[in-house]
């Protein structure tokens, strides 16, 4: 997830991986690995990047969550109140939801689906 945010920030600021690498004092390959979610930035590097580029990773995380919620609401064709009820149900009864997904799709898909729903 951090890699997706880094890539979005980089593109929003019209920077290259090389530009980011120079700011962070790392290799281009490391920046590429972070963007592919193979490696991650430590808190010091995140803070350095935020200060140098005048951005907050947390703002991008919130934006991504909002986008995912909106997309899911549209795909399910729910009103805002119906969608809020669904989210409330998911939060209150995660185990029942997990069992339902597992019964329909199997263990791995159930875990992946539940993680995706709960990250919204």
Domain that holds residue 10: 2-60
Give me the sign of the Cα torsion angle 11, 13, 15, 19.
Answer: negative
**Number of residues in the chain:** 120
| Same domain (yes/no): 84, 54 | no
pTM: 0.54
56 shares its domain with 105: no
The answer to whether residue 102 is domain-embedded is yes
Indicate the residue among 31, 60, 89 that finishes a domain. Answer: 60
The predicted-structure confidence for 56-104, as pLDDT tens digits, reads as follows: 988 877 666 566 677 777 777 778 887 788 778 777 777 776 666 666 6
Kindly state whether residues 10 and 52 are assigned to the same domain: yes
Q: Are residues 86 and 50 in the same domain?
A: no
Give the CATH number, domain containing residue 30: 1.10.260.40
| pLDDT tens digits, 3-29 | 888 999 999 999 999 999 999 999 999
Number of domains within the chain: 2
106 torsion bin: left (phi>0), alpha (psi -120 to 50), beta (else): left
Same domain, 90 and 44: no
Torsion region of 105: left, alpha or beta (phi above 0 gives left; psi -120 to 50 gives alpha): alpha
């Amino acid at each position: 997830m951090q890699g997706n945010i880094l890539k979005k920030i980089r593109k929003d600021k019209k920077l290259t991986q090389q530009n980011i690498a120079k700011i962070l004092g790392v290799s281009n390959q490391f920046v590429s690995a972070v963007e592919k979610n193979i490696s991650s930035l430590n808190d010091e590097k995140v803070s350095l990047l935020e200060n140098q580029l005048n951005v907050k990773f947390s703002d991008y995380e919130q934006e991504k969550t909002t986008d995912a919620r909106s997309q899911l609401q549209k795909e399910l064709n729910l009103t805002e109140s119906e969608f809020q009820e669904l989210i409330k149900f998911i939060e209150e009864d995660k185990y029942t939801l997990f069992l339902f997904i597992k019964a329909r799709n199997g263990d791995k898909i159930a875990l992946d689906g539940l993680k995706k729903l709960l990250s919204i």
